[in-house]
Amino acid sequence: MNSPILLQPDETFILNVGPQHPATHGVLRVKMEMNGEYIVNAETVIGYIHRMHEKMGELKTYPQFLMNLSRMDYLGALGYSHGHVLLVEKASGIVVPERAEYIRAIMVELNRIASHLFWFGAFVMDLGGFSPLMYALQDREHILDMLEAVTGSRLTYCYFRFGGLYNDVDDDFITAARQFIPRMRKSMKKYHKLVTGNIIFRKRLEGIAPLSKEMCRKYGASSAVARGSGINFDVRKNEPYSVYPEFDFDVPVYHECDSLARYMVRMDEIEQSLRIVEQGLDKLPGGPIMPDKKPKLIKPPVGDYYQAVETARGSFGIRLVSDGGKNPYRLKLRSPTYSNMHLFDEACRGMMIMDALAFMGSLDLVIPEIDR
Amino acid sequence: MRLTLLNVIVAVVLAIAFAALNAAYLVWAERRGAARIQRRPGPNINGPFGLLQPPLDGIKLMAKQLTIPGGADKIMFITAPVLAMFPAIMSFVTIPFSDTIVAKNMSVGVLMIFAFASMGSMSLLFAGWSSRNKYSMMSSVRAVSQAVAYEIPMLITTITVVMIAGSTDLMEIVHQQSRSILHWNIFPLLGNSHNLLMPFSFLIFFICTLAETNRAPFDLGEAESELVAGFHTEYGSMGFGLFFMGEYANIVIGSCMTTILFLGGWSCPFGLFPGVWWFILKLYLLIATFIWIRWTFPRTTIYGLLNLSWKILIPLSLFNLLFTAGLIKVF
Amino acid sequence: MIYEKIKTTLSSLFPDPVPVPPEEESAGDDQEKKVKSPPPPRQDGLLEREYSVHGYHLDAQISPAQLIAAVTMLDDAEFFIESITGVDWIKDNQLEVVYDFSRYDFDLCRVVIRTRIDRQSPVVPTITSIYPGANWHERETHDFFGIKFDGHPNLIPLLLPEDADFHPLLKDFKA
């Protein structure tokens, strides 16, 4: 008979967290070398759902690739599409009507709220609290309903077109969005009461997994990971694009560097996004949603172009190398969680496994987006 | 009431039936309660209010194959789920639900229940260790350290109550609290001891019950976001079913003990119509609190849990024990 | 202004002022002519790019030997690493490694460092000792292009299967 696992006091063992594990929210594997409950060393193994979007980018024409972007990050899909259309428009000199840009911003922000809500629920569930997920999903449901009515899909949107949009918003959407804002603000109060104020929740996050500014810089972290470490970095502010300069919103920055700070940043971001949606609805100009003059075939001139946008998960960069043809010569997708997740190996050393998994939750991982 | 062999057998069968029925229907209650808290319907398809869900779940579990992992220690692996259910059922034998409804009252009832309760952690250890799964093993290590840490304050608190009552007989403990709410051990303004620290004792006991029964926020043994399913990761079929039922049976035992030790058992708060209905009412209120807590709080950490026990609960309960002893000596 | 500062620092890598090649996009009108006679590969040197068109400010093409020096300069100036990627210039028989750097503060300056290497023996030094975050980016670039990063601690397939011996983003890759 095999003897059960026996350990010497200073002997370590390998624990495979994933590829199928409840805390990884997808097919991610972390090979942890453990000493009891403590992590001695960790190695993240990714690529389980790698689909080679970059090769698809080379094989497809520009409009054909539009729908690929929403398959990367299924929770905050519109932000990625936004980066893509902005890049191609910039490269080929297409001017987007103002109304389209405003609608894009409103949609992206609504999508950001939906993404953060899902993260919020899943994160609290990682910590063992089940109910907030259901509340968060209910609020998210309102957003998905609104987006569905306009874009036609609930998760993997293909709403943006080069130069504009596929569909204009109607009065129903505007009414629904206006009703949604106060309701969401009320929900936020409830979440703060139920979760943020909870002593067990705070004890589990305060001081856990401190990430220094220097470490964020060396790994190229963005989104709440950087902002929770006192870095005031938001592409919408640092490198304004689209109509974001027209909006009055703040970038929440926390200096505690711990998991709670990352949580607080995202919670505050929901409120800031609500502000943007509110202002966008107020300022929404009339006019067309597609430009009058638009090249039939998208063929950006020869050159090398880069566009960064702030998605729900951080700074998403997209690089286009064009040879003047109707397919991109090279399309590089820089996904934010790829860099954020990379931190994990170094940061989780010496942590206990439950803290490490709470830390992993605070990184807001979407695995298809890491693997691309 | 004369104890004949027949009496005992009937009583034991009833105790088992009560335990099993409670375990099954508490699953239903938990799911409905959780659904209510989470604003969803919960199980409502099978039978009225989904009341047929537990027996159907039972049939489903029994119809499944019990797989034993290749490297597992077979004897321990099979013993563990039985060991989870058995002590819980045995404990029911000695719990007095009212003056007359008790299978077998013993003068050392408190001792017996704690003796059986400490066997529960054995089953977790067996299950986790024999599964030959790293997650299970980590979980069983956690479960045992947790059980050790929380049995101590629990026992010290119980000793305080036993000291006040002067007896380890559960009947006797209830009888001494039976006059009114002010005689209950939770807030004994009248009665044997005027110890105003008893509410804290009650809290300590309740927290320990939560921890001993592996319930949220102390469900570190089966912390599903870290350890997959903890000690019962490798169990399917009725092996899992027994663990599940054992958990709920333990909750009932814990709530029964809390009711008896602190809330006056079957006595009425105002001294009117004492009877089993009061016991049942108190019991299910406590269980509802268990469910409510589970679906509200996130999980603690293992070090937070152990710190709470060794640094806060044990010193507090020890102090309370000394204080009570002093009070009894003085008055 | 960090832009001026980093421009001066990076210029020190190019002691001999190279003739700056004409901007590729300026030839937008006579594009058809361009396709017929492709331009020669770009020479090493520092280019200032129009941010509103290209999305970055400085574009430095250096030799692989200068890479560590250039990246150290950016590290000293507190840039963060955005990404590393490759481009296969099969017509020039060259592979290009592209390093993107940006800044966290409001002193916006995006710097692109490129280096061109021979397609047959693509080796560049690793920058993981300067930016540990380059680890995955370099592994990914190795996956896709087969570029070897000299000194990389763990150059095994990251996104591709662990036994992958193909490099899908090479232009002559046939699935």
Summarised one tens digit per residue, pLDDT across range C128-150 is 888 888 888 888 888 888 888 88
Instruction: Give the start-end residues of each E strand in C90-147.
Output: 94-102, 111-118, 123-125
Kindly report the nearest CA distance between residue B300 and chain A, in angstroms.
Answer: 6
Share of chain A above pLDDT 70, in %: 97
Q: Do B217 and A128 touch (CB under 8 A)?
A: yes
- Distance in angstroms (rounded) separating the CA atoms of residues A307 and A317: 6
Half-sphere exposure of A280 (CA within 13 A, CB side): 30
Q: What is the DSSP letter of B121?
A: H
A351-370 pLDDT, tens digit per residue, is 888 888 888 888 888 888 88
A238 to chain C: which residues are within 8 Å by CB? 103-106, 108
> Which residue from A minimizes the CA distance to B223?
A128
Q: Show which of residues 203-242 on chain B sit within 8 Å of chain A, judged by CB atoms.
A: 216-217, 219-220, 223-226, 228
Partners of C59 in beta bridges: C47, C112
Residues 6+ apart with CB under 8 A from B289: none
* Residue C25 belongs to a domain: no
- Answer whether residue A3 shows pLDDT above 50: no
Q: What is the DSSP letter of C173?
A: -
Residue with tokens 């998991």, as numbered in its chain: A259
Q: Which two tokens stand for residue B28?
A: 């239903």
Class of domain A13-371: mainly alpha
Q: Each residue of B15-48: b (16+ CB within 10 Å) or e?
A: bbebbbebbbebbbbbbbbbbebbeeebbeeeee
pLDDT (0 to 100) of residue C49: 79
Q: Which chains would you list as touching C if contact means 3+ CB atom pairs under 8 Å?
A: A
A226 to chain C: which residues are within 8 Å by CB? 104
- Distance in angstroms (rounded) separating the CA atoms of residues A87 and A84: 5
B73–chain A Cβ distance below 8 A for any pair: yes
**What are φ and ψ of residue C73, in 5° steps?**
-60, -45
pLDDT (0 to 100) of residue C26: 47
C3-40 pLDDT, tens digit per residue, is 777 777 777 777 765 555 555 554 444 444 444 555 66
For residue C51, the Cα-to-chain-centroid distance in whole angstroms is 17
* Residue C155 belongs to a domain: yes
DSSP output for A204-243: HHTTSS---HHHHHHHT--HHHHHTTT----HHHHS--TT
Half-sphere exposure of A306 (CA within 13 A, CB side): 27
A160-218 pLDDT, tens digit per residue, is 888 888 888 888 888 988 899 999 999 899 889 888 888 888 888 888 888 888 888 88
CA dihedral angle for residue B68, residue B69, residue B72, residue B74, rounded to 10 degrees: 10
- Answer whether residue A4 shows pLDDT above 60: no
Q: Which two tokens stand for residue A12?
A: 């370590």
**What are φ and ψ of residue B131, in 5° steps?**
-70, -20
Q: What is the DSSP letter of A193?
A: I
* Residue C24 belongs to a domain: no
Q: Is the dihedral of CA A200, A202, A204, A207 positive or negative?
A: negative
* Residue C29 belongs to a domain: no
**What are φ and ψ of residue B302, in 5° steps?**
-65, -40
B135 to chain A: which residues are within 8 Å by CB? 15
- Distance in angstroms (rounded) separating the CA atoms of residues B20 and B98: 20
- Answer whether residue C175 shows pLDDT above 70: no
**For the packed helices B314-330 and B134-165, what is the interaxial angle rounded to 10 degrees?**
10
A301 to chain C: which residues are within 8 Å by CB? 25, 28, 31
- Can you give the pTM of this predicted structure? 0.86
Contact A190, A109 (CB under 8 A): no
- Answer whether residue B124 shows pLDDT above 80: yes
Kindly report the nearest CA distance between residue C47 and chain A, in angstroms.
Answer: 12
Chains A, C: CB pairs < 8 Å? 121
- Of the candidates C47, C45, C41, the residue with the CA atom closest to the CA atom of residue C62: C45
**What are φ and ψ of residue B199, in 5° steps?**
-55, -35
A13 to chain B: which residues are within 8 Å by CB? 134
A193–chain B Cβ distance below 8 A for any pair: no
pLDDT (0 to 100) of residue C64: 85
Chains A, B: CB pairs < 8 Å? 91
A31–chain B Cβ distance below 8 A for any pair: no
pLDDT (0 to 100) of residue C163: 84
- Distance in angstroms (rounded) separating the CA atoms of residues B146 and A244: 52
Q: Which two tokens stand for residue A344?
A: 């994990």
**Other beta carbons within 10 Å of B191:** 19
* Residue C31 belongs to a domain: no
Mean pLDDT of chain C: 79
C107–chain A Cβ distance below 8 A for any pair: no
pLDDT (0 to 100) of residue C23: 54
The angle formed by the CA atoms of residues C27, C29 and C33, to the nearest 5 degrees, is 70
Contact B26, B287 (CB under 8 A): yes
ipTM: 0.84
Share of chain B above pLDDT 70, in %: 94
Residue with tokens 């592409």, as numbered in its chain: A235
Kindly report the nearest CA distance between residue A217 and chain C, in angstroms.
Answer: 5
Sheet holding A330-334, edge to edge: A303-311, A314-322, A330-334
Residue with tokens 């690929």, as numbered in its chain: A68
Q: Sorting pLDDT into bands at 50, 70 and 90, what band is C66? A: confident
Q: Sorting pLDDT into bands at 50, 70 and 90, what band is B186? A: confident
Q: Are strands A38-45 and C123-125 parallel, antiparallel or unpaired?
A: unpaired
Average the pLDDT over B193-218 and give the result.
81
| Cα dist from A18 to A113, A247, B228, C90, whole Å | 28, 42, 10, 39
Q: Where are the domains of chain B?
A: 5-330
Q: Do B39 and A134 touch (CB under 8 A)?
A: yes
CATH of the domain at C162: 3.30.460.80
| Facing residue for C169 by CB, picked from A54, A217, A238 | A54
Give the gyration radius of chain B's Cα atoms: 20
A219 to chain C: which residues are within 8 Å by CB? 81, 131-133
Q: Do B295 and A15 touch (CB under 8 A)?
A: no
A131 to chain B: which residues are within 8 Å by CB? 34, 37-38, 295-296
B279-330 pLDDT, tens digit per residue, is 888 888 888 898 888 888 888 888 888 888 888 888 988 888 888 888 877 7
Contact B290, B219 (CB under 8 A): no
Kindly report the nearest CA distance between residue A254 and chain C, in angstroms.
Answer: 15
Give the gyration radius of chain A's Cα atoms: 21
| Facing residue for C24 by CB, picked from A50, A302, A308 | A302
Q: Do B296 and A352 touch (CB under 8 A)?
A: no
Residue with tokens 């002519």, as numbered in its chain: C33
- Distance in angstroms (rounded) separating the CA atoms of residues C70 and A44: 29
Query: Which of C105, C141, C169 to probe by mutation at the A interface, max A CB count within 10 Å?
Result: C169
B301 to chain A: which residues are within 8 Å by CB? 203-204, 352, 354-355
Q: Do A218 and C31 touch (CB under 8 A)?
A: no
Tell me which H or E stretch contains C152. none
B142-176 pLDDT, tens digit per residue, is 888 888 888 889 888 888 888 887 888 888 888 77
Q: Which chains would you list as touching B if contact means 3+ CB atom pairs under 8 Å?
A: A
Query: Which of B295, B297, B305, B307 to probe by mutation at the A interface, max A CB count within 10 Å?
Result: B297
The angle formed by the CA atoms of residues C130, C136 and C138, to the nearest 5 degrees, is 70
In chain A, % helix, strand, coil (3-state, to 5) comes to 50, 15, 35
> Which residue from A minimizes the CA distance to B303?
A352
- Distance in angstroms (rounded) separating the CA atoms of residues B92 and B113: 9
> Which residue from A minimizes the CA distance to B69?
A2
Residue with tokens 């481009």, as numbered in its chain: C87
| Facing residue for B297 by CB, picked from A21, A37, A200 | A200
Q: Where are the domains of chain A?
A: 13-371
Q: What is the DSSP letter of A94?
A: P
A226–chain B Cβ distance below 8 A for any pair: no
When divided into structural domains, chain C yields a total of 1
| Facing residue for A47 by CB, picked from C133, C135, C158 | C158
Q: Which two tokens stand for residue B5?
A: 């062999």
Q: Do A128 and B132 touch (CB under 8 A)?
A: no
| Cα dist from A99 to A105, A178, A290, whole Å | 10, 18, 9
